[in-house]
Structures are given as structure tokens and as C-alpha cells.
């Protein structure tokens, strides 16, 4: 039997479909500044979905890093680079207007991932950017992001779309196992249910368990998972 490999796989589950619907709805208000917020517990696929959508729909994706907490200029320069500015201005105001010019010339949705890492003053920056360009800015984060935005009425009044990412489903585990292994690993609903229950809706933990399972299967030179192998794979993970 050939060695089973777990290849990178993107599953278009219910969360992804809802995300696409949200983006379609957001486009209906074209011509005015607006924000959107996507939130949910870690591991439910928010970042991967935003990256996938941005890559396939000519959008801008920028993941926040902590060093920008005290450097709006650093954030704006990074956004400039994502917009194709080879040598972003060093001054904050110049970088700001460089972003404005780029988005006015080529309007594209902008995804900001994990903005809750930043001080709340950044919300006014996001508001100014969307107001001046009429480009939608989509905030992607964990549970605390929505109350973080709600505390600022002028910002939340511009939030036209809101989407919470739910737990993944047992069917997602079955689909992922099949597609990621090229159809070699076929889980029963009961087996997938055990992995799903252990992961508590976290896609990262599902991937970890399936990676462990593939290791166990290869060690036993088989593609047919037994209930005992499922249990071994789950126990191999760290809690």
C-alpha cells in the first residue's frame, strides 16, 4: 500500500458559504464607507477563509502583528505594501494618503485579521479609511472583537454585516479526511463523530487528530481506520 499523506485542503463548509453570502451582501452597499465583522472561537477557519476569499476575489488581506500597537505608521506602511507600494512613505500622514490613493484608484475590499490586538484608537483609523475610499473593511477576530467594536458607536453604526463562525460539523470531518488524503481515508460517521467531539468544533484540532491517524495508519500499512486507531490518534494530541 502507498504511503498516505495529508495534503493542504480547504473545505467549503457552512461557515465558508455564509462568509461568501456576507461578502455578496456587503457589495450591495457599494459607494459608501462600511465595515463588517467576522468573529468566532480560535480554530474555526476564519483566517483561512478570509485568505481564501481574498486570493480568489482580488482583495487585500493583512494580519495584524503586535508591534503595531504603538505604531500606526508601521500598520499603514504594511498596508501600503499589500497594495503594491514598493517604498511606502515613512511619515504616518503620507502613508495614510498613499493608502487612500491606492484604494481610490483600485477599490478592493480589505481584510484586517486580529485587529483586536490593537488599541481602540485604530477603529477611528479604519473608519476614516473606509469613509474616504468607500471600500469595505472587514474585521476578522475572536469573540472579543464584536464588543471591542460596539464600544465605539460611530464605528459600529458603520458595521453593515456581522457573521459568527460556528463549530464545524461531523460531515466536515468526513469530507476533510477524504479530500486531504486523496480519498484513501474514509471515516464512518461514528469515527468522525469521536474526532469531532474531542476537537469541540475546532478545525485545527481535527487536523491534528487526522495527522496522528495518518501516522498510525501508515505504521500499520493500512488505510482502513479501526475504532482503536481513532482513539490512539485522539490520545496522541496534547490538551
Read off the pLDDT of residues 189-226 as tens digits, 9 standing for 90 and up. 999 999 999 998 899 999 999 999 999 999 999 999 99
- 60 and 95: one domain? yes
Tell me how crowded residue 24 is: count the other CB atoms within 10 A of its CB.
Answer: 10
Q: Tell me, yes or no, whether 99 lies in a domain.
A: yes
Residue 71's pLDDT is what? 93
- 84 and 138: one domain? yes
- 119 and 186: one domain? no
Tell me how crowded residue 220 is: count the other CB atoms within 10 A of its CB.
Answer: 13
Q: Tell me, yes or no, whether 210 lies in a domain.
A: yes
Does the structure show a pLDDT above 70 at 1?
no
Contact call for residues 75 and 124 (beta carbons, < 8 A): no
* 3 state DSSP class of 199: helix
| 34 φ, ψ (degrees, to nearest 5) | -160, 150
- 91 and 109: one domain? yes
- 145 and 205: one domain? no
Residue 158's pLDDT is what? 84
Q: Tell me, yes or no, whether 20 lies in a domain.
A: no
- 194 and 131: one domain? no
- 143 and 183: one domain? no
**Distance spanning both ends of the chain, measured CA to CA:** 32
d(CA 10, CA 153): 36
Closest CA relative to residue 169, chosen from 193, 186, 188: 193
Q: Tell me, yes or no, whether 205 lies in a domain.
A: yes
CATH number of the domain where residue 149 is located: 3.40.50.300
Per the structure, the complete domain to which residue 113 belongs is given by 31-164
- 36 and 149: one domain? yes
Q: How many domains does the chain have?
A: 2
Q: Which residues of 162-198 are buried (b: 16+ CB within 10 A; e: fewer)?
A: ebebebbebebbbbbbeebbeebbebeeebbebbbeb
Convert the pLDDT of each residue in 84-130 to its tens digit.
Answer: 999 999 999 999 999 999 999 999 999 999 999 999 889 999 999 99
- 38 and 145: one domain? yes
Q: Which residues of 81-110 are buried (b: 16+ CB within 10 A; e: fewer)?
A: ebbebeebbeebeebbebbeebbeeeebbb
Contact call for residues 163 and 2 (beta carbons, < 8 A): no
Burial class (CB in 10 A: 0-12, 13-18, 19+), 28: exposed
Query: Higher-confidence residue: 238 or 57?
Result: 57
Q: Tell me, yes or no, whether 26 lies in a domain.
A: no
User: Of 112, 137, 164, which residue is a domain's last?
Assistant: 164
Convert the pLDDT of each residue in 8-65 to its tens digit.
Answer: 999 999 999 999 999 999 988 888 889 999 999 988 999 999 999 999 999 999 999 9
- 148 and 188: one domain? no
- 158 and 175: one domain? no
- 73 and 121: one domain? yes
Q: Tell me, yes or no, whether 132 lies in a domain.
A: yes
Convert the pLDDT of each residue in 135-191 to its tens digit.
Answer: 999 999 998 888 888 787 777 788 899 999 999 999 999 999 999 999 999 999 999
Q: Tell me, yes or no, whether 145 lies in a domain.
A: yes
Q: Tell me, yes or no, whether 68 lies in a domain.
A: yes
User: Of 137, 164, 191, which residue is a domain's last?
Assistant: 164
Amino acid at each position: 500500500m502507498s504511503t498516505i499523506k495529508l495534503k493542504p485542503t480547504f473545505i467549503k463548509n457552512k461557515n465558508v458559504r455564509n462568509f461568501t453570502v456576507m461578502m455578496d451582501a456587503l457589495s450591495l452597499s457599494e459607494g459608501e464607507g462600511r465595515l463588517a465583522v467576522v468573529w468566532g472561537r480560535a480554530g474555526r477557519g476564519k483566517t483561512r477563509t478570509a485568505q481564501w476569499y481574498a486570493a480568489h476575489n482580488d482583495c487585500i488581506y493583512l494580519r495584524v502583528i503586535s508591534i503595531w500597537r504603538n505604531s500606526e505608521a508601521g500598520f499603514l506602511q504594511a498596508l501600503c505594501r499589500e497594495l503594491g507600494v514598493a517604498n511606502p512613505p515613512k511619515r504616518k500622514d503620507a502613508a495614510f494618503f498613499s493608502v487612500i490613493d491606492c484604494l481610490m484608484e483600485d477599490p478592493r475590499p480589505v481584510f484586517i485579521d486580529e485587529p483586536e490586538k490593537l488599541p481602540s484608537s485604530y477603529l477611528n483609523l479604519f473608519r476614516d479609511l473606509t469613509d474616504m475610499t468607500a471600500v469595505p473593511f472587514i474585521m476578522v477576530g475572536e469573540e472579543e472583537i464584536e464588543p471591542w467594536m460596539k464600544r465605539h458607536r460611530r464605528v459600529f453604526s458603520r458595521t453593515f454585516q456581522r457573521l459568527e463562525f460556528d463549530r464545524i460539523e461531523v460531515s466536515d470531518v468526513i469530507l476533510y479526511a477524504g479530500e486531504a488524503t486523496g480519498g484513501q481515508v474514509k471515516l464512518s460517521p461514528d469515527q468522525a463523530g469521536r474526532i469531532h467531539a474531542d476537537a469541540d468544533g475546532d478545525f485545527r484540532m481535527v487536523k491534528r487528530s487526522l495527522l496522528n491517524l495518518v501516522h498510525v495508519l501508515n505504521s500499520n500499512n493500512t488505510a482502513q481506520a479501526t475504532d482503536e486507531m481513532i482513539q490512539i490518534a485522539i490520545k496522541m494530541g496534547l490538551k
